[in-house]
Amino acid sequence: MEQNETIVEVVGEEKKKNIKNLIIAGLLSALSGLLGCLVLGFLLSVGFVASISGIIITAAMFYTFQKFYKTNSKWLYVYIVSVAIVEIFLTVLIADGLIVQTIVRANEGLIISFGEAISLIFSEGELIGAFFTDFLMSVLFALIGIGIMIFDLVQRQKRREAVVSSMTSEIKKENEAVFTPATVVEKEDDKTDKNQDVDADSDKQ
């Protein structure tokens, strides 16, 4: 009974540790995604093609998560894509809002609040078109990034399996090389013993 209780306690502690590591990995992964979003926001604000930074966001999230919690579960990719989409949406929204504020102040000499800038984005066809273009292109590159991560993971897994298979084959060959001669010698000894028995019987007759 005491052993069973000890085992249950150990399993419980292990589960708690795994849950703790999972939460830490999720939080740090989301934070690393925000760093990628800072790059996205900066590039948007200076007018460069920013959508490619979506790859940076998902790559940072993926490697950070795997650093603290090793898993190949499909839910990892669902989590990364979901969080990345939310972070990209908010980043593009904030960046475009700040850009609109700057443009209105420069062209009209008016100072508008951030909320007014957001309202302006969703009320003007050209502005909302630009917003969704930036958002969807960034999401597309984020998906490309996660695709690259999955491809890299699969390739590494195949390489590991190839190495293990090669090592297993070598061990089998070594075992065959060790045991086969002994088996042959045993068979030869059996044949010799049988021949000797036959000769002994002949001599007796």
Question: Distance between CA atoms of 60 and 179, rounded to whole angstroms?
Answer: 51
pLDDT score for 196: 52
Task: Confirm whether 12 is domain-assigned.
Answer: yes
- Tokens found for residue 67: 């650093």
Higher pLDDT, 182 or 38: 38
Task: Confirm whether 204 is domain-assigned.
Answer: no
Quick one: average pLDDT of 49-67?
79
pLDDT score for 23: 81
Q: Catalogue the E-assigned strands of the chain.
A: none
Q: Provide the phi-psi class of 26: left if phi over 0, else alpha when psi is between -120 and 50, else beta.
A: alpha
pLDDT score for 6: 60
Task: Confirm whether 38 is domain-assigned.
Answer: yes
For residue range 100-126, list pLDDT tens digits in order. 888 888 888 888 888 888 888 888 888
- Give residue 16's identity as a one-letter amino acid code: K
pLDDT score for 198: 43
Higher pLDDT, 117 or 174: 117
- Note down the domain range covering 20: 2-158
Total domains present in the chain: 1
Task: Confirm whether 36 is domain-assigned.
Answer: yes
pLDDT score for 184: 46
Residue 130: pLDDT over 60: yes
Task: Confirm whether 110 is domain-assigned.
Answer: yes
Task: Confirm whether 203 is domain-assigned.
Answer: no
Task: Confirm whether 64 is domain-assigned.
Answer: yes
pLDDT score for 88: 86
Q: For the residues of 93-161, what is the DSSP string, one character each?
A: HHHHHHHHHHHHHHHH-----HHHHHHHHHHSHHHHHHHHHHHHHHHHHHHHHHHHHHHHHHHHHHHHH
For residue range 8-55, list pLDDT tens digits in order. 555 566 777 777 778 888 888 888 887 778 877 777 776 665 677 788
> Which of 29, 34, 10, 130 lies closest to 70, judged by CA?
29
Task: Confirm whether 144 is domain-assigned.
Answer: yes
